[in-house]
Protein backbone atom coordinates (compact mmCIF):
# COMPACT_ATOMS: atom_id res chain seq x y z
CA UNK A 1 0.00 0.00 0.00
CA UNK A 2 1.01 3.61 -0.61
CA UNK A 3 -0.66 6.76 0.65
CA UNK A 4 -1.95 9.71 -1.34
CA UNK A 5 -2.63 13.10 0.23
CA UNK A 6 -5.71 14.65 -1.33
CA UNK A 7 -6.02 18.42 -1.90
CA UNK A 8 -8.62 20.02 0.37
CA UNK A 9 -11.28 20.82 -2.27
CA UNK A 10 -11.29 17.21 -3.50
CA UNK A 11 -11.67 15.62 -0.07
CA UNK A 12 -15.43 15.86 -0.60
CA UNK A 13 -14.95 12.88 -2.93
CA UNK A 14 -12.91 10.78 -0.47
CA UNK A 15 -15.33 10.97 2.45
CA UNK A 16 -13.38 13.99 3.79
CA UNK A 17 -10.26 11.87 4.21
CA UNK A 18 -7.08 13.90 3.70
CA UNK A 19 -4.93 10.81 3.20
CA UNK A 20 -6.07 7.59 1.54
CA UNK A 21 -4.34 4.27 0.99
CA UNK A 22 -4.15 2.70 -2.46
CA UNK A 23 -2.37 -0.12 -4.24
CA UNK A 24 0.05 0.25 -7.11
CA UNK A 25 3.65 -0.44 -8.04
CA UNK A 26 3.86 2.68 -10.21
CA UNK A 27 2.45 6.16 -9.73
CA UNK A 28 0.15 5.66 -12.70
CA UNK A 29 -1.23 2.45 -11.21
CA UNK A 30 -1.69 4.09 -7.81
CA UNK A 31 -3.66 6.96 -9.35
CA UNK A 32 -5.78 4.50 -11.33
CA UNK A 33 -6.54 2.64 -8.12
CA UNK A 34 -7.37 5.95 -6.44
CA UNK A 35 -9.92 6.90 -9.09
CA UNK A 36 -11.35 3.36 -9.10
CA UNK A 37 -11.96 3.66 -5.36
CA UNK A 38 -13.22 7.25 -5.59
CA UNK A 39 -14.65 7.66 -9.11
CA UNK A 40 -15.81 11.26 -8.64
CA UNK A 41 -12.16 12.32 -8.47
CA UNK A 42 -11.42 11.25 -12.02
CA UNK A 43 -12.89 14.15 -13.99
CA UNK A 44 -10.96 16.63 -11.87
CA UNK A 45 -7.62 14.83 -12.16
CA UNK A 46 -7.75 13.56 -15.74
CA UNK A 47 -8.63 14.93 -19.14
CA UNK A 48 -9.11 11.79 -21.18
CA UNK A 49 -6.23 9.50 -20.24
CA UNK A 50 -3.86 12.33 -19.34
CA UNK A 51 -3.50 14.12 -16.04
CA UNK A 52 -4.87 17.65 -16.32
CA UNK A 53 -2.06 20.10 -16.81
CA UNK A 54 -2.75 21.86 -13.51
CA UNK A 55 -2.53 18.60 -11.55
CA UNK A 56 0.90 18.05 -10.00
CA UNK A 57 1.89 14.84 -8.27
CA UNK A 58 4.74 14.74 -5.78
CA UNK A 59 6.55 11.67 -4.49
CA UNK A 60 7.89 12.90 -1.21
CA UNK A 61 9.38 16.28 -2.11
CA UNK A 62 9.90 15.47 -5.81
CA UNK A 63 7.60 16.52 -8.64
CA UNK A 64 7.11 13.32 -10.64
CA UNK A 65 7.76 15.30 -13.85
CA UNK A 66 11.41 15.25 -12.77
CA UNK A 67 11.28 11.50 -12.11
CA UNK A 68 9.76 9.05 -14.57
CA UNK A 69 6.30 10.59 -14.50
CA UNK A 70 3.47 8.10 -14.16
CA UNK A 71 5.95 5.26 -14.79
CA UNK A 72 7.86 6.09 -11.60
CA UNK A 73 8.08 2.97 -9.45
CA UNK A 74 6.68 2.88 -5.92
CA UNK A 75 7.69 0.95 -2.82
CA UNK A 76 5.29 -0.02 -0.08
CA UNK A 77 4.86 2.87 2.31
CA UNK A 78 5.67 5.61 -0.21
CA UNK A 79 3.73 8.85 0.11
CA UNK A 80 2.25 10.71 -2.84
CA UNK A 81 0.66 14.12 -2.76
CA UNK A 82 -1.64 15.71 -5.34
CA UNK A 83 -1.13 19.46 -5.66
CA UNK A 84 -3.18 21.70 -7.94
CA UNK A 85 -1.43 24.56 -9.68
CA UNK A 86 -3.49 27.62 -8.96
CA UNK A 87 -3.76 29.90 -11.97
CA UNK A 88 -6.17 32.45 -13.32
CA UNK A 89 -6.55 35.17 -15.84
CA UNK A 90 -8.88 37.87 -17.00
CA UNK A 91 -11.24 37.31 -19.92
CA UNK A 92 -9.82 38.44 -23.24
CA UNK A 93 -12.26 41.35 -23.45
CA UNK A 94 -10.80 42.82 -26.60
CA UNK A 95 -12.37 39.96 -28.52
CA UNK A 96 -15.44 39.67 -26.33
CA UNK A 97 -16.92 43.16 -25.90
CA UNK A 98 -20.23 41.74 -24.68
CA UNK A 99 -18.47 40.82 -21.43
CA UNK A 100 -17.69 44.42 -20.64
CA UNK A 101 -19.78 45.93 -17.86
CA UNK A 102 -19.33 49.50 -19.03
Binding residues for another protein, per CB under 8 A?
A: 7-10, 12, 18, 40, 43-44, 54, 56, 58, 63, 81, 83-93, 99-101
Least separation, in Å, of the C-beta of 30 and another protein? 18
Least CB distance to another protein at residue 43 (A): 6
Which residue, 6 or 30, has its beta carbon nearer to another protein? 6
Which string of b and e fits 3-23 if b means at least 16 CB within 10 Å? ebebeeeebebbeeeeebebe
Residue 35, class by beta-carbon neighbours within 10 Å (0-12 exposed, 13-18 middle, 19+ buried)?
Answer: middle
Amino acid sequence: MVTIRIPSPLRAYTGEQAVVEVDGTTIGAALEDLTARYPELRQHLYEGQQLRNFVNVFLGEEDIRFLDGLDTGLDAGDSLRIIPSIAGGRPECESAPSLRQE
